Structure 1
Amino acid sequence: MTATNPTTVPGLDLQQAARDHLWMHFTRMSAYADAPVPIIARGEGSYLYDADGKRYLDGLAGLFAVQIGYSHGEEIGEAAAAQMRELPYYTNWSYAHPRSIELAAKVAELAPGDLNRVFFTSGGSEAVESAWKLARQWHTANGERRWKAISRDVAYHGSTLGALSITGVSPIRNPFEPLVPQVARLRNTNRFRRPAEETEAQFTQFLLDELEQTILAEGPETVAMVIMEPVQNSGGAFTPPEGYFKGVRELCDEHGVLLVADEVITGFGRIGDWFASNRYDIRPDLITSAKGLSSAYASIGAVIASDKVAAPFLEGDATYLHGITFGGHPVQSAIALKNIEIMEREQLPQKVRASEERFRETLAPLLDLPIVGDLRGTGYFFAVELVKDKETNAFFSDAESEDLLRGFLSERLFDAGLICRADDRGEPVVQISPPLVAEQQQFDEIAAILGEVLTEAGKRVGH
């Protein structure tokens, strides 16, 4: 199928213009000095088409974001156009407008427990930044000066300076130091390569002991928040062991620390519930969200606060001293509302929960490949970890990882018609996270392409 109308600017050479003017995010731009820039021109269902009409299965849902797939542009566009005609923009600074009110009410309805107050942002990094500022100011409003955050190793929480400070991925953090003080980091919940004789209960206790020791070492009176993804993305879909979040909640309560669930990825259906906080009974004080809130059809995120956190700011002269021009934008809010309506109509969170085991079973044969050491994840959110030697689970060197991921896998998967992420934030993994509309046909296609390409990759490393 040929892409239609790949440019709206007559006579413009898209390839040349991209090389001359476009600065792509987290991209080694020199790679395109003498190579074509991948230009995605159209989407349909779980598939994307480039400017030449070649089809790709989007095994990453954009960036873990396009829950409803790519076929709802007309319906969502009508909602956006109707809002444009009614009110194209107004601020939420001291004012409200109907769509942001409606969206806040809907998000509060879907959120767990008493998380009833919604502060809108333009995306996930801003949501994390906003949550840290809110946590700090909440403690101040309660007569304490707490400013520190605790996060987990390898975890990615965003790219703005505050969110980057919380992020546990050293290579993308180090160039910008000194960052915002002070952040302590814990081990994440990756069980791969843990001692074989260790029980799940022992692993949970090991992690909780470390959290308690870290809070005590930092000084509980200085720690504002603990922030964790329910299923950690960076490093490859780390799920929590049994009892982990129950223990985290108890330790936060004991030491007066706010617990933040970063659900920028896991929120809005990706792991088989509207929020992973429901599935894992996390009971957070704050949730950060974005991506699936609009299925990435609009740039919108949100911090969802519990009644406890909101209380000091709803009385007297207390003001949360933070704001974003486009937070709760009427058109973005209208798009997010329509996205949630579509997700409810198609019962996408329920569909994911019902399909996750079939998806896992379809991917499971990849474990037979010599280069694949682990398969982990849940919902529509999986990763395979690659190993140099399966018998010993030996690590790749940095140079070997660079050659494997950037020198072979990323390009080869794309050429084979599959968009997913060959990632080295941590040990080398391939991340798999398709739109929530994906069916068995797409599971089979993902597994087949991965099987073929990873077999080739294994031969490159001597298997």
Structure 2
Amino acid sequence: MSPVHTRTKNTKNALWPSLLAPALHGSDALCAVSAHGVRVRYADGSELLDASSGLWNTNIGYGNEAIARAAADALRDASYLSVFRYENSYARAAAAALVELCGADTYGRVLFSTSGGAANDLVMKLARHYHALRGEDRRKLVVGLRGSYHGLTYGSFALTGEDLGQQVYGVDQRLIRHVDPNDPTGIRTLMERQGQMVAAVVVEPVLGSGAVPLTEEYVDELLRLRDEYGFLLVADEVATGFGRTGDFFASQRWSARPDLLVTSKGLTNGTGAAAAVIASHTVADAFDTAGAMLTHGETQAGTPVTCAVILATIAEMRRLDAVALGRALALRLDAELTRLVDEHPWVTGTTGVGCFRSLRLTTPDGEPLPQARVPELVAAIRTAGAIVHPGVHGIQLFPALTYTDAELTELMDRIRAGLALFTRGPIPAAVPTEVPA
């Protein structure tokens, strides 16, 4: 039996934050107290310009009044209603809005979840059940991409193609296969060997780790292989949805639609624990025809408050013309990042698309910036007044689509100041880099 240790009562560090080194627990410099627009205030009194849109999810900025009113009204009028063996009118309305948004010619049903990770768990169950209904019980394999990130629940953790310690946690990956992104030969070779056992291929249109977009050639090969081998193609748009890459959803630029589309981060503008899986008519009809019930449910999925803010977020995105704002911002951001590459000897490249970008750095000896130094870089930029996300050999930027010209200029000035501080000498790290959002 493990001993129970007692100590003097102290609740200051009662919070156990996610993915933060224990030495940094309780730091007022990392304890946010309020946020408005694109700025976050911390318990130590500092106010920082946020270039990460929260955790890539406040796509139209903090403190939107219409979204706040929608949440308050729903909490007052229908504090909790379930979609577990029931329906509710809020969930019906939000589902209809999402089907319309994604395209009712392709999509017909929506399943609500509470996070991107949980939604990817749902997707894997849904794909396997779909094939079982069609008499193909052997289709259990799910294919992901190396370097991908799909979440940290057990199913999505298994699907994640980056080594984040899955073995330590006993994550079972026996029914998962990983292939290299943007390598048509690799995915075709896998299908030639095991295609008849593949239930689904799940891809991020832009890999969250490193902001690497899938090429048109690669997506077209996935679509051809789907037609040839019969698996479901899933677009994990948890991070890319709601205007982040220049369209409401990145997969809208594909030559054909995915069978399942997953969205979460921008879905409520970061105000609720919500995700949605939008299912094609083909998938939904298989369940309806068989009268089959999918075994999945989450207590807090599809509640009135989350569905009310989904509806309000969609309405505000349209009112602000946020997708167009994001496209215009992306052009300015691209010019600024290109200029930074040209002027700073350590900054050697930028990847990504739209307002989903990364900066890659090398050291003076020409080697990629070691990952161990990325926290120091993030801390230096934070000291200069901006919040950026750790990336592969550098940083990642996810500004709100509503950034003004003046705010973008201010952001780039702070990033330059942080880079200058970083190149002068060691800075104590303030954030981890092992796991993306």
Fold shared by both chains (TM-score > 0.5): yes
- Contact 2:29/2:44 (<8 A) preserved: no
Deviations 1:48-78 (A, max 9, x none): 1112442111100011100121131x43232
Where 2:122 maps in the other structure, the secondary structure is helix
Q: Structure 2 residue aligned with 1:104, among 91, 95, 114?
A: 95
After TM superposition, where is structure 1 displaced by more than 6 Å over at least 4 residues in a row? Answer: none
Determine the structure 1 residue equivalent to 2:180: 187
- CA shift digits 1:396-451 (9 cap, x unpaired): 5xxx431x222x2222222211111123xxx4220000111112222212222222
**Which letter does structure 1 place at the counterpart of 2:371?**
S
Report 1:132-211 matches (<5 A): 132-145=124-137, 146-189=139-182, 207-211=183-187
Q: Find the aligned partners of 1:395 and 1:161 in 2 and give their Cα distance.
A: 32
Partner SS, residue 168 of structure 2: helix
- Paired with 1:376 and 1:333, the residues of 2 have a C-alpha distance of 34
Please, which runs of 5 or more residues in structure 1 have no aligned partner? 1-15, 190-206
1:388 and 2:363 are equivalent in the alignment? yes
> How many correspondences in the alignment?
414
Q: Which residue of 2 aligns with 1:420?
A: 388
CA contact (8 A) 1:104 1:118 kept: yes
1:359 and 1:440 in contact (8 A); partners too: no
User: Aligned partners of 1:439 and 1:52: how far apart in 2?
Assistant: 27
Which has the larger displacement, 124-133 or 242-251?
A: 242-251
1:379 corresponds in structure 2 to 354
- Cα deviation, residue 373, structure 1: 2.1
* Helix, strand or coil at the partner of 1:175: coil
1:401 counterpart residue number: 371
Please tell me whether the aligned partners of residues 29 and 42 of structure 2 are also in contact (alpha carbons under 8 angstroms). Answer: no
Question: Shift in Å at residue 363 of structure 1?
Answer: 1.7
Tell me how far 1:289 sits from its aligned partner: 0.8
Counterpart-to-counterpart distance in 2, 1:381 and 1:210: 26
1:310 Cα deviation after fit: 0.8
TM, length-normalised to structure 2 = 0.90
Q: Distance in 2 between matches of 1:69 and 1:290?
A: 16
Measured on the aligned residues, the alpha-carbon RMSD in Å equals 1.9
Q: Could you tell me which residue of structure 1 aligns to residue 433 of structure 2? A: none
**Does the CA contact (< 8 Å) of 2:145 and 2:203 recur in 1?**
yes
Counterparts of 2:177 and 2:364, CA distance in 1: 33
- Identity, % of aligned pairs? 30
- Of the three residues 66, 76, 81, the one matched with 1:85 is 76
How far apart, CA to CA, are the structure 2 residues paired with 1:387 and 1:188?
23
1:434 alignment counterpart: 399
Supply the AA of the counterpart residue of 1:239: P
* Counterpart check, 1:129 vs 2:104: no
Matches within 5 A, 1:315-330: 315-330=289-304
**Pair 1:316–1:147, CA change in 2 (3 A):** closer
What is the CA–CA distance in structure 2 between the aligned matches of 1:36 and 1:116, rounded to whole Å? 47
CA distance in 2, matches of 1:51, 1:114: 47
Within 5 A, what are the aligned runs for 1:236-251?
236-251=210-225
Measured against aligned partners, the alpha-carbon deviations of 1:276-307 in whole angstroms (never above 9, x if no partner) come to 11133451000111010101111110011100
Amino acid corresponding to residue 137 of structure 1 in structure 2: H
Displacement of 1:167 in angstroms is 0.3
On the 8 A contact 2:29/2:43 being kept in 1, the answer is no
* Aligned equivalents of 2:247, 2:260: Cα separation in 1: 17
Q: Contact between 1:157 and 1:164, CA under 8 Å: does it hold in 2?
A: yes
SS in 2 for 1:437: coil
For 1:24, which of 17, 27, 32 is the aligned residue? 17
3-state DSSP class of the match of 2:225?
helix
Counterpart Cα distance in 2 of 1:174 and 1:450: 36
